[in-house]
Chain A
Amino acid sequence: MHAPVFLRPLPALRASRWRRRIAVLGGLGALGMVVLLAQASLVASTGYNVERLEDTKAALIRSNQQLEDSIASLRSLDRIEREARTRLKMVTPSSYVYIRVEARPQAPSPLLRKALKEEERGPAPPAWSWWEQLIRTFVGSRSQP
């Protein structure tokens, strides 16, 4: 049994649809290839970037080593003495005068305590109680507890 005439596609129309399909498929294929190419290119570029960054990292590590060396050289006793003698015109002491301070030592400030060595710190000052801190806030006292 034949379908009604008005339902049958015209041959020209059928051909044009196939061409469209092929074109779409071709387009998709081309797009896929472009994406693939772009991806490969991106990966390659990222790979080169990683290589370059690793080189940079290695160079920075080496540079860090060199900076450590420079710091150590600048802090060396030879250099300190040379600077003291030539730039600051200091001389080796020929005699020593010891200063005996008979005043009761004050507890060093928290900032100074941090800078001192453990054995030089002495006993820690007693902590302020909450009400003393409150009074200090208003009065602004600088005395030690």
Chain B
Amino acid sequence: MNKHPHLSPLRLHLVLFFMGLCTLGLVVRTGFLQIAQHQEFAQQADDTHWSRQTVPAPRGMIKDREGNPIAIAQTRWEVSLNPAQFRSAAARERAVAAVAAATGASPQDIQKKLEQARDKPLLVTDNLEYARGKALLGKSLPGIVAQERIHRTYPEGNLAAGLLGFVGRDGAGLTGVEADFNPELAGSAGTLVFERDSVGNPIPLGYRSSAPPAPGADLVLTIDRFIQRVVERELDAALKKHGAAGGTVIVMQPHTGAILAMASRPSFDLRNLAFSDPKAMDLVRNRAVTDLYEPGSTFKLITMATAINEGLVTPETTYFDGGPVIKYGRALDTWDHKHFGTETMTELLLHSNNVGAVWLSDKLEPERFYQSLKRFGFGQPTQVGLSGEAGGVFRTPKDQDWSPIDLATNAFGQGITMTPLQLATAVSAIVNGGTLMRPYLVDRIEGPEGVRQFKPVAVRQVISAETSRTMRYMMNQTVEKSSVKTATVAGFHVGGKTGTATVPSPSGGYEPDATIASIVGFFPYESPRAVVLVKIDRPKDSPWGSQVASPVFSTVARELLVYWRVPPSEGVRVARITP
């Protein structure tokens, strides 16, 4: 046997030993990977090989009663940069440049934010147009992470913000109609499972399974965008003019309970949601249904309607107003400290006489009065279908803290709380022939499976048709015979009642200088098509409903009568065209 002269057996054995050791190491390592870490690597391979995607369902639109979109769902991209996936500085620069070009942001800004983020993923935008996002993804640059999300756009701007509410980052409704009708609007997301190749594209002949998303239904509201816009414009103008803290306007169809417009201030901007300040969350509630207030003299309509319906008085019934009335040790006076001697029930409403209201409450007695309030729906939510709706509070003789003075003050709308919507609903019953209608905001839901139509719901008859007719007449006289004709509309007959309520203080009693100026009225007198409630909180220049709220009512009424093409009754410039 020939031996290599330079190769000793020891060296050969050493090489063989090391080779054997390496082989053993490889075998052990392979065994470890294959057996001990099998689950983990199998999962990684599975994740790389299989793509499981959630396909978001298109969220339904929210439309006004004429079908005009108020809120539309758009599919947009949420684009982030993940520094952990950048393989080099050049790759990072390429990704930043591509994202900057797609989003319109400055590359320097993105770089700066990336450095500040310290290797954590950076959200660049959550609202990138679909086509731009798709083109960006087509570049297949590592480090760019894009995810589809449903984004709401508002063609009518900030119209009806408090009513609509908004959706969260996950596309689910958080407040307002968006939250209350989220199950209908959201639909259900679909899924897509497929085998993908090394660059993430689906393998054409590979396994593929998909469950398509079920799109959300469109919500058609009873709101009319034109009326809502008029109402918001006039409300904002009044708040600015009078330096008021807030306000509410509701327009309701008295015969159906359909809400044509509902606006509250202060509110938020749908297009610029910023809730980092916890106080900002205070702006999102729909104050027309959540906030309680003492209505003041507008409530005399309820007291009067009850007394007439009970047959205790007629519009011509007289009483004597000889000065402040002392009740249980408390002097109750008129709002302007004027007294009118003998006056009729119509004049009681015209002068908004608190002494007269107390006289009426004496005639009604507690049981009939409070029974009537319950029948008008006070003390319980209207079931309008919006979350957070308050029911209002009033004490009755069954409550321990009730006192007879409550009856007297309740009769002119103090010591009793309600929402603006409750009062508008009750006055609608007075105007429409005596039927309390359930207010509603959604006219129909148009889904893939068909249309679900909501119909007006009559809750109960609260006063007779005759009483309703009488009350309409008295409300008309209250507006037209008033010394300050701020609620009238030239050429048309309207009806209404103003109110100036004091504001309860958290420490007890009432605030000395704060009032809520309001009016609730209807038009046209001959055939009522709308009940309008205007409430202005804490006006600074004038406390009176007739000076602060009535002009808003008048403007809204005039614009709506023109919008509805209601012919004028009289007293306006009329050009005649004869054949």
Partners in one complex: yes
Binds B, one of A63-71, A123-131, A135-143: A63-71
Q: Does B129 contact A (CB under 8 A)?
A: yes
| A26 interface hit (Cβ, 8 Å) | no
The reply to whether the CB of A133 lies closer than 8 angstroms to some CB of chain B is no
In the bound complex, residues from chain A placing their C-beta under 8 Å from that of B558 are 96
* Interface contact tally, CB-CB below 8 A: 95
- Once the chains bind, are B69 and A103 in contact (CB under 8 Å)? no
CA distance A69 to B130 in the complex (A): 13
Give Cα distance in the complex from A98 to B572, angstroms.
Answer: 7
* A36 located at the interface, meaning its Cβ lies under 8 Å from any Cβ of chain B in the complex: no
Chain A minimum-CB-distance residue to B565: A120
Residue of A44, A95, A102 touching B577 (CB-CB under 8 A): A102
Q: Is A144 an interface residue (CB 8 A)?
A: no
Docked Cα-Cα span, A79 to B202, in Å, equals 44
Known: A44-B204, A66-B130, A100-B576. A77 touches B229 (CB 8 A): yes
| Given known contacts A69-B153, A72-B155, A44 and B205 CB-to-CB distance under 8 angstroms | yes
Taking CB atoms, residues of chain A closer than 8 Å to B568 are 98
- Closest Cβ of chain B: how far from A140's Cβ, in Å? 24
Separation in Å of the B232 CB from the closest CB of chain A? 11
What residues of chain B lie closer than 8 Å to A101, measured between beta carbons? 576-577
Residue ID in chain B nearest A43 by CB atoms: B205
A59 at the interface (CB under 8 A from B): yes
Q: Which residue of A lies closest to B194 (CB)?
A: A51
The secondary-structure label for the interface of chain A is helix
The total of chain A residues at the interface (CB under 8 A) is 33
Instruction: For the complex, give the distance between the alpha carbons of A86 and B435 in Å.
Output: 47
**How far is the CB of A57 from the nearest CB of chain B, in Å?**
12
Interface size on B, residues (CB 8 A): 36
A96 touches B130 (CB 8 A): no
Report A76-110 CB contacts with B as 1/0, cut-off 8 Å.
11100000000000000001111111111000000
- Chain A residues with Cβ below 8 Å from B129 are 66
**Does A62 touch B at the CB level, under 8 Å?**
yes
Closest beta carbon of chain B to A98's beta carbon, Å = 5
Whether A99 pairs with B155 at a CB distance below 8 angstroms is no
Inter-chain contact A103/B577, CB cutoff 8 Å: yes
Chain B residues lying within 8 Å of A97, measured Cβ to Cβ, are: 572-575
Contacts of A76 in B (CB 8 A): 155-157
Closest 7 CB pairs of A and B: A47-B204, A72-B155, A62-B130, A103-B579, A72-B69, A101-B577, A99-B575
What residues of chain B have their CB less than 8 Å away from a CB belonging to chain A? 58, 68-69, 72-75, 129-131, 134, 153, 155-157, 201-202, 204-205, 225-226, 229, 490-491, 558, 562, 567-568, 572-579
